[in-house]
Chains A and B, each alone.
Chain A
Amino acid sequence: MSGLPSHYGELVRELQRIASERLQPLNATFELTRRCNLGCRMCYVAMQASDAEEASRELSASSWLDIARQAREEGTLFLLLTGGEVFLRPDFFDIYDPLTTMGFVISLYTNATLCNSSVAERLADAPPHKIEVSLYGATAATYEGITGVRGSFERCRKGIEALLKHGVNVSLKATITRSNLRELPLMRELADQWGLPLSASWMLTGRTDGGPSDVDACRLTPEEAIRLESLDSAMLDEWRKGIQKAAPENFYCQAGKSAFVIDAAGRMHVCLDLPEPGILVPVHGFRKAWAGVVDYVHRAPGLSAECRDCDAVHYCAICPAWSSLEHGELSGSVRYLCSVAKERKKRYES
């Protein structure tokens, strides 16, 4: 009659399928702040922690809770809290604690550098279903070479250990750049010592506000990226499944079908990488904002002729968000993705 499903992943996929069919906003991302206490060269968002003007634009705790209640009414179940760095907000727990009583399955992204013992203890009182901690290296030299903040590696390590001590469910997400790729085996060793799963992500996008970014210098070469990807059996399976499908019309993900993002100022967007259409939820209400996001995705153009005719299109992660970030249009090839797709095709067809 009941029970924890033995195949939790399958259940979640089925829920995503049902929600997409019904255009139910099942998956929410609340970007509580765009400010961060680290200064990673490749970050798509980071504003400075001390940016008072940016802080003044952030929604209040009560506004977030009002939006959450509306989202819950409209069928949101999975809720991701992210930043910037969420623990920069002095009122984080004024938002978080009430959210834990509303029936969401909550995930939280953090760099863990602000997770001292009292934060970890407070989280353990009503833990999120998952905390994903970003990791930028296995040594202080490499980690801090990316974050630009002396002492941040040690604070991250202590933060992770505080969370573990209090029994909070943690996983690690290594953001891989050219400067820490060589340390990935050491990062895996570190994760093993903590008994934590570690995933490696290398798809770096430029800044969503159009500001200057070092992302080109940070990205792996296509050869490095595909060599790394081929070690990840789950990712390989996903690509092999995808290869058998028709090329996507526009968005191949859940954006605007069952997923949305609300940024720090309360604007609803398609995803973190595509800050459009930007409908202010506190002004227009959740239902109207969601309808606007659905409509935006529905109207988005399909693949460009160049992409449709490309023999590597089934191996490519091209989507309107990437096109928009690279050259301001929702359609059109992205040189980096082209190179990666051709490399992927070469490897998987050989």
Chain B
Amino acid sequence: MKRKESFLLQQVGDENLLVPIGAQVMDTNGIITLNATAAFIWEELADEKTAAELAAGLVERFDVGPDQAAADVRTFTGELRENGLLA
């Protein structure tokens, strides 16, 4: 899977913000907030990645076990899919 290129990730302090750009503003008029792991996954999804690759990245980067990482990836990518944020 890969992210849509219709958002840019911005930071204000520790806040990670997904800002819709171009025509996407018609569908998403506001800012989406991401926690640190979600922001990491979003950045990773600039290139095509599998769920297993994303979970492995989370384990390497954050203090999280493989099961929790897989669950986090499932939840977040599910949200991305539901909201039409995946390419």
Contact = CB atoms under 8 A, between A and B. Distances in A.
Interface of A: 1-5, 8, 11, 14-15, 18-19, 21-22, 24, 26, 75, 77, 100-105, 124-130, 167, 169
A22 B15 CA distance: 13
A285 B75 CA distance: 44
Contacts of B60: none
A22 B13 contact: yes
Given A3-B32, A5-B33, A15 B15 contact: yes
B12 A18 contact: yes
A326 to B, nearest CB: 35
B26 A1 contact: no
B34 to A, nearest CB: 5
A167 B13 CA distance: 33
Contact of B15 (A14, A128, A169): A14
Given A18-B13, A26-B12, A75-B12, A1 B75 contact: yes
Given A2-B76, A19-B12, A105 B32 contact: no
A2 B35 CA distance: 7
Contact of A103 (B21, B75, B80): B21
Given A22-B13, A26-B12, A77-B17, A2 B23 contact: no
Interface residues of B, number: 28
Contact of A2 (B25, B29, B34): B34
Nearest to A76: B10
| Shortest Cβ-Cβ A-B pairs, 7 listed | A103-B8, A18-B13, A1-B38, A126-B22, A1-B76, A103-B19, A15-B12
Nearest to B19: A103
B23 A11 contact: no
B59 to A, nearest CB: 17
Contact of B30 (A4, A14, A77): A4
Contacts of A14: 15
Nearest to A8: B30
Interface string B52-87: 000000000000000000001001100110000000
Contacts of B28: 4
B21 A101 contact: yes
Contacts of B23: 125-127
Contact of A127 (B12, B26, B72, B80): B26
A124 B26 contact: yes
A56 to B, nearest CB: 32
B1 interface: no
A1 B72 contact: yes
Contact of B22 (A8, A75, A101): A101
B11 to A, nearest CB: 8
Given A77-B10, A77-B12, A126-B25, A2 B33 contact: yes
A277 B41 CA distance: 43
